[in-house]
Amino acid sequence: MDRLRKTSLLALLALTFPLLPAHASWGNSAGGGYYGSPEAACKAMLEPGTFYIFSHAKVKPGDPKTYHCFEKAKDGSGSPIYYGLANYSDEPTTENLKKGNLGERLATDCLAADGHDIIFFKPQIEGTNQGGIDIVTLKNHTVYFIDNKALTKSGNVSSVSALTTNFEKNKEAFLSIWSDHAQNFSLPQHERMLYVELLGQTNTGHFHRVVTNASAAPDDKITRDVTNKLASQGIKFMNVHKKNGCAGW
């Protein structure tokens, strides 16, 4: 396609599909949100270890706020397959981050009230849309690696990359920090012993990977569990929504 044809096509698209605000974010039909593009929202729905990879995102005819997501076989065989939607959100990203940050704080408060020692959480709003684990706790000599999903939809959580695809990397980051603290003799002994316990319990498999659902959503628009696929990977669900009184498992 020559430059003139490209320019003409872009002008046609601009007339057909008005430009969306720069602050827009994208969610997906799996319940994930706050992605910077429809392609990113589509890619986030792909589960690791399957035979498929992301192919492309295609705008729904007549609807610039919805994209169809397509995957393809890793070996390139066959035609691309539709597998979900990417949906535009006209809420400013900062508003989305506020909701996510509130959810993480509510989950942390609930867990503390339930007897968890809070080892780590992200109190600053800037950390809300960053990758990694949201909360780490210790209860009854068991470590909990937690990702809170502050979604406003009913059903089950189907994707939690911080606890699946990226879990080993995330876990190793904590182990490295805890190892440094355990050997830091400027810290009080009881603090160093805490880090020694965290290291020991994690390295011997005494930990859980957990999804929580704390949010400001109405009771009929909260997640209730994880999908069977996530459960089969060892991901647990903890109901800490405010209207359930921090019910736990």
One DSSP character per residue, 134-172 reads SEEEEETTEEEEEEE------EEE---GGGTTTHHHHHH
Q: Which residues pair with 226 in a beta bridge?
A: 157
Of 160 and 137, the structure prediction assigns the larger pLDDT to 137
Q: For residues 3 and 1, what is the distance between their CA atoms, to the nearest angstrom?
A: 7
Which helix (DSSP H) or strand (DSSP E) does residue 41 occupy?
Answer: helix 38-43
pLDDT digits (tens, 9 = 90+) for 23-52: 457 888 776 667 778 998 888 888 666 688
Note the pTM of the prediction, 2 decimals.
0.58
The rounded percent of the chain whose pLDDT value lies above 70 is: 69
Q: For residues 234 and 160, what is the distance between their CA atoms, to the nearest angstrom?
A: 12
Question: Taking residues 93-113, what's their average pLDDT?
Answer: 65
Question: Taking residues 124-133, what's their average pLDDT?
Answer: 51
pLDDT digits (tens, 9 = 90+) for 227-238: 889 999 999 998
**The predicted structure's pLDDT at residue 158:** 83
Residue among 210, 201, 202, 221 at smallest CA distance from 248 = 210
Please determine, for residue 161, whether its predicted confidence score (pLDDT) is greater than 90. Answer: no
**Domains of the chain with CATH codes:** 13-89 (no CATH), 93-244 (3.40.1350)
Strands 81-89 and 25-28: antiparallel
Per-residue DSSP letter, 97: H
Burial 94-103 (b: 16+ CB within 10 A, else e): eebbbbbbbb
